[in-house]
Amino acid sequence: MAVAVSAFLLGTAALCDATAAARTISGVVLDQHSGRPLAGLTVASSPAGDPYDEAMAGDAPPNLAAVHVVTTASDGSFRIDTDSSSPQVFIDIYGAPRGYVTFHGTFPAGAGALPAIHLIRPTVEERRALAQINAFRRAPGGFAAFGTRQPLIFDQNLVATARYWAVEEARAGRIGHTCAQLGNPSGCVEFNAYFHRLPGAPQDDDAGQNAAFDSDPSWRDANRLFEIEGELCHFNWRACPSGPDGSQTQTGHYINLMLAQRWIGLGEALAAAGAFFAQNLL
């Protein structure tokens, strides 16, 4: 009898394990502008907080057997196993082959149905801006020497946040990093608060921000404003001088460009005299 009870208990445990392993998350991926479904995109899941996070920061599906990978259906829907005892799951959606940004999000492993995920297609100018930033990060004294380990790629939530903030700046007619600096316009939401409200945005990460105005409505001069700050510390962001309040007030935009290790969002809003630019980086 003891043997039979043991066998029963083992069977029960195996069933529980199978139930835990079978937890799934479902969702739908749509175009940000038209709302049409996006089929054929790759969706991957892994336990949040382990090495998969870094592996999944790139624009190609991770080469790790433990990560689940599915493809969105014709209606943009997907259903994917979490296969994790962790309370959190990392969801990555690759849109780059179709010209869309990549989505990275952290959700409860038992979340079930996710909110609709909308993907942005960056403009040609935004893609040129990202290429310029990554070329600068690879320059001598930058990419290899001072710790920026990989090129930045677009992240859906950061792009949405950057575009939101650029519009707020244009509406206020000034550059700023807070609603107060923009004159507290009606309905203004601090950029990190806006970011944290978006689906899957990591709650334990605050995005860095760069902001600029230039009479030339292109990213070329805006990025140069941030890059040239590096001259003050010989393009070694670890050695940049601190301001009177202990922060790197004169080199903070350059430091953001060099310190960011994963993702970026770029946003531009045109105004009569030029354009307002916002970058958000993790």
164 contacts 125 by C-beta, under 8 angstroms: no
pLDDT at 121 over 90: yes
CA separation (Å) from 5 to 2, 14, 137, 238? 5, 14, 63, 63
Give the integer Cα–Cα distance in Å for 158 and 99: 16
pLDDT over 70 (residue 202): yes
For residue 248, what pLDDT is reported? 57
In CATH, what number does 23-119 get?
Answer: 2.60.40.10
Output the CA torsion 198→203→205→208 (10° steps). 40
Please state whether 207 falls in left (phi above 0), alpha (psi between -120 and 50) or beta: beta
CATH 2.60.40.10 residue ranges of the chain are 23-119
Report the chain's mean pLDDT, rounded to a whole number: 82
**Which pLDDT value is given to residue 103?**
93
CB 219 within 8 A of CB 277: yes
Pick the CATH number of 124-281 from 3.40.33.10, 1.10.3330.10, 3.30.420.40, 3.30.70.20: 3.40.33.10
pTM of the model: 0.85
Q: Residue range 246-266: average pLDDT?
A: 82
Name the percent of the chain lying above pLDDT 90. Answer: 49
| pLDDT for 247 | 55
Is the pLDDT at 2 greater than 80? The verdict is no
- Answer whether residue 119 shows pLDDT above 50: yes
- Range of weakest confidence among 113-122, 157-166, 207-216, 247-256: 247-256
The pLDDT tens digits for 218-245 are 899 999 989 888 888 878 777 776 654 5
What is the model's pLDDT at position 156? 96
DSSP assignment string, 200-212: T--TT-PPEEEEE
Residue 56 pLDDT > 80: no
pLDDT at 100 over 90: yes
Which stretch, 105-114, 128-137, 190-199, has highest mean pLDDT?
190-199
pLDDT digits 0-9 by tens, 5-53: 333 333 434 434 444 445 889 999 999 999 999 999 999 888 776 544 5
Is 133 exposed, middle or buried, given 0-12, 13-18 or 19+ CB atoms closer than 10 A?
buried
Helix axis angle for 252-259 and 219-227, nearest 10°, is: 100
- Can you give the pLDDT at residue 242? 61
**pLDDT (tens digit, 9 = 90+) per residue, 166-182?**
999 999 999 999 999 99
* Radius of gyration of the CA atoms of the chain, in A: 22
Q: Are the C-beta atoms of residues 147 and 251 closer than 8 Å to each other?
A: no
Confidence check: pLDDT of 162 > 80: yes
Given a contact cutoff of 8 angstroms between Cβ atoms, the answer to whether 279 and 166 are in contact is no
Confidence at residue 235, expressed as pLDDT on a 0 to 100 scale: 80
